[in-house]
Structure 1
Amino acid sequence: MPSPKAKNNAGRSPNRTPSPHLLQRQGSDPTSARLRASESPTRRRGSGSASASATGPQQQLPEEDCMRLNPSFAGIALRSLLAIDLWMSKRLGVCAEEDSSWGSVRPLMKLIEISGHGIPWIAGTLYCMWKSDSAAGQEIMLNLLLALLLDVVLVGIVKALVRRRRPSHNRMDMFATFSVDRYSFPSGHATRAAMGARFLLTHLVLAAPVRVLVLLWAVLVGLSRVMLGRHNVTDVAFGFFMGYFQYSLVEALWVSTASLQKLLGVLG
């Protein structure tokens, strides 16, 4: 005889729908299904791409790096000119060392270097001004002295502002150097040679051969700076340009002997 429990189990329909409470317990309600769908891999991939796009702008290159990657035409041209300048200066530095290709000419180049140094020029100008008997001669030597002092000041200021190092193949065995002489731009010898040559050719009565020698001396002073490895080509070129126009400034500020005597009388 079957038991009442067996009868109850046999009486149940096999396709009977579970109760809502059972569905809720099993987590099969529609809300749970939507929550699980929202956590699907597709949604996770979408959220990952969204977060990547949100942090994307933070991974961009800085502005200065973009400028380096996209240089201007002027920057490219300047770098090319500097590269050519360094290459030419290296090739022309044939007297930089004793064992260089023109090392035997190095003593002569150093003698020309001393002839364009500021100390011999200032000392020679003071001596000529002291030995001069005429007021006109003293006036010329006085203005030459002021021009040399102006050259020292202007070249020192430009060197301190630019601070371009001397060529790597240079030997610091120059005559009577100062603190700013560790910088290369512009060449003080070139400025002094250009200004001094123009001054002498203008205010001194010289024969034609002597005038040629003065111009040749100025060119040799500038050439010796590159051959000894003291300066780059652009240092000397700008030095000639600067010295040429320094003389124009000296002419504009010319001090006569009468003006100097009045100034000394006021100060006295």
Structure 2
Amino acid sequence: MDPKTRLDDDEKRNIPPTIKKLLAWDVEMTKKFVSFMLNFVAFRSLKVHCKFLEYSCHGIVWLAGWMAYIWIADNRESYQMQVNLMFGLILDIIFVAIIKAATRRRRPTLNDEMFSIGVDKFSFPSGHASRAFFILLFFTWLSPVTIFLWSPLFAWSFSVGLSRLLLYRHHILDVTAGALLGVIEAVLLWILWLGPGTCNWIMNAVSEDHVPGGPEDV
């Protein structure tokens, strides 16, 4: 986007001077932070894998992949975990879409040509960061997996957040807000946690294998 057009858009939205200064500071600090980090070999190496990290935490990938997993791993004992994670993923998409539509912050200039549709063309907050930290808390707090998987989960979630900066997909405040949103989503899901009866009912309702007259009843 032309910088003049970007400025015109900001003026039309009547952004308060204090917020403008904060956003300008965020842009400058993001550039300095990324330039500094890329001085280290380890982070230059991480940048090579940033696209993989981007795909590994994409909303469509998680939704489609999780639905496929639920369908393939038809395990009644896992219904509660499966349904609640799906519930959380849907909440995350809704919350991120609403906040992005409300704030309408543009992505860093280098990503103005990145293919995106709808609210995904906006930057605040980072949906990848919110999803990564929500998934981290889900599998370490809400429905803990074996402790041996905790280290990879922490490494993956923080690497996803850092990759959003190294790819210039987001600014520092976008990623920070996304991580905080992921924590809030985990707490909200803890409050709204669906019980086994509800989860079994949902799975029975959407699976032909469990409805009356289905294959189980033959």
Q: Is the 8 A contact 2:47 2:163 kept in 1?
A: no
Q: Deviations over 1:184-227 (max 9, x none)?
A: 0000001000101100112133233x211101111111111111
Alignment of 1:60-209 (within 5 A): 78-93=19-34, 106-170=47-111, 172-173=113-114, 177-202=116-141, 203-208=143-148
Q: Deviations over 1:15-74 (max 9, x none)?
A: xxxxxxxxxxxxxxxxxxxxxxxxxxxxxxxxxxxxxxxxxxxxxxxxxxxxxxxxxxx9
- Is structure 2 residue 212 aligned with structure 1 residue 253? no
Normalising by structure 1, what TM-score? 0.61
What is the alpha-carbon distance in structure 1 between the residues aligned to residue 49 and residue 199 of structure 2?
Answer: 40
Q: What displacement does 1:256 show?
A: 2.5
Which of 1 and 2 has greater Rg? 1
Q: Secondary structure at the match of 2:24?
A: helix
Q: Of 177, 181, 197, which aligns to 1:238?
A: 177
Q: Which has the higher contact order (CA 8 A, sep 6+)?
A: 2
Q: Is the 8 A contact 2:107 2:121 kept in 1?
A: yes
Q: What displacement does 1:121 show?
A: 1.0
Root mean square deviation, CA, Å:
2.7
Q: Deviations over 1:130-187 (max 9, x none)?
A: 233432312101111111111101100000000011111225446xx43111110000
Q: What displacement does 1:122 show?
A: 1.1
Q: Is the 8 A contact 2:140 2:150 kept in 1?
A: yes
Q: Is the 8 A contact 1:191 1:243 kept in 2?
A: yes
- Residue ranges of structure 2 left out of the alignment (5+ in a row): 1-15, 36-42, 212-218
- Residue ranges of structure 1 left out of the alignment (5+ in a row): 1-73, 95-101
Normalising by structure 2, what TM-score? 0.74
* Number of matched pairs: 184
Work out the percentage of aligned pairs sharing the same amino acid.
34
What is the alpha-carbon distance in structure 1 between the residues aligned to residue 204 and residue 74 of structure 2?
Answer: 21
1:37 match: none
